Amino acid sequence: PTILAIESSCDETSASVIRNGQVLSNIVATQAIHEQYGGVVPELASRAHQQNIIPVVAQALQKANIEKSALDAVAFTRGPGLLGALLVGCSFAKSFALGLNLPLIEVNHMQAHILAHFIDDPQPNFPFLCLTVSGGHTQIVLVRSHLDMEVLGQTTDDAVGEAFDKSAKLLGLPYPGGPMLDKLASTGNPDRFTFPIVNMDGYDYSFSGIKTSILNFVKKNAAADPDFVQNNLADICASIQKALIMTLLKKLVLAAKDLGVKEIAIAGGVSANSGLRQTLQDYAQRYGWNVYLPAFEYCTDNAAMIAMAAHYKYLAGDFTSQYASPDPRLKISL
Ligand code: ATP
Ligand code: MG
Ligand code: FE
């Protein structure tokens, strides 16, 4: 099948065309408007999606060299995400499908982050564990098949991407802080400072505490030396990053051991983090894991992963109707 997929859950407007599981195009328009506010402003995101969606879809079709008449289905992200942002993609997809008399496919954004692993080789073997780490989620997911996934544990408060972004903000770094913190950390000493690692029950996480500990750390040291943060920035970033990565991997190791699974993947925006990628490679050696890291272009939000998920749903005959509406809190087990 040839499918047009649309992603609009947060601050990326994206469209992709996939044919028989091969991604032909993946156009991503990242909204720059939010930079000046230091975070995503939901209403501005919705408006930017409205401006972007038609040109982004046109580009995706053009790049794929596909006529609208050659499409077999239209897919969209139903959730989770920002309601207003999701509404733009959902409404566009429904109108487009109605106009062309095409079936509609709704996709769960978190499931799609995981299915990004099936765009290119190597692909993980079932069952595998996926640590899904992004701006809004932190989950350990048992993936039994393309469409059968179970969340084993997740954050009880902030997502790890949020922890990266908020830590960076406390250090005075511009938005989005995650990638910047990663870059600075690469030249720092991760053992210089110690930040607390919260150990939750089971496979759950908590990342809200680290913000307070960083705030206290900055206040205490800046009182003695106003240039403390500036002069030790790389070491502070490396130490924060290490605490976040160790917290993530502790539970992943536990789940892998408990379930006897050695196929391990990561997904979501934070899977672009170089420290996390390197540590996972090291763990592959230590624990005999086969580790799967997504290509950078498929870590953060993109429509190619929505298209990949839609491909499997099309093959399974899983379509939705013109009555479909976004669900900002859509759960992964459908
Ligand atoms: P969700 O997928 O949970 O709905 P989202 O779509 O906003 O949230 P993604 O686009 O998947 O999130 O990921 C964005 C997050 O990834 C941001 O928090 C960003 O800071 C983080 N991120 C991106 N690159 C890196 C990196 N190299 N190191 C750390 N964090 C990163
Ligand atoms: Mg984003
Ligand atoms: Fe995402």
| pLDDT per residue rounded down to tens, the chain (334 residues) | 999 999 999 999 999 999 999 999 999 999 999 989 988 999 999 999 999 999 999 999 999 999 999 999 999 999 999 999 999 999 999 999 999 999 999 999 999 999 999 999 999 999 999 999 999 999 999 999 999 999 999 999 999 999 999 999 999 999 889 999 999 999 999 999 999 878 999 999 999 999 899 999 999 999 999 999 999 999 999 999 999 999 999 999 999 999 999 999 999 999 999 999 999 999 999 999 999 999 999 999 999 999 999 999 999 999 999 999 999 999 987 4
Report the nearest-CA residue for atom 13 of ligand 1.
269
Report the nearest-CA residue for atom 15 of ligand 1.
135
Ligand 1 pocket residue status of 134, Cβ below 6 Å: yes
> Closest by alpha carbon to 82, among 113, 48, 115?
48
Which residue carries 């039994």 as its tokens? 144
Ligand 1 pocket residue status of 136, Cβ below 6 Å: yes
> Closest by alpha carbon to 183, among 257, 118, 266, 273?
273
Residues whose CB falls within 8 Å of the CB of residue 50, separated by 6 or more in sequence, listed in order = 88
Nearest atom within ligand 1 for CA of residue 80 = 4
Nearest atom within ligand 1 for CA of residue 40 = 7
CB atoms inside a 10 Å sphere around CB 275: 18
pTM to 2 decimal places: 0.96
Ligand 1 pocket residue status of 294, Cβ below 6 Å: no
ipTM for the whole predicted complex goes beyond 0.95: yes
> Half-sphere exposure of residue 29, counting CA atoms within 13 Å on the CB side?
21
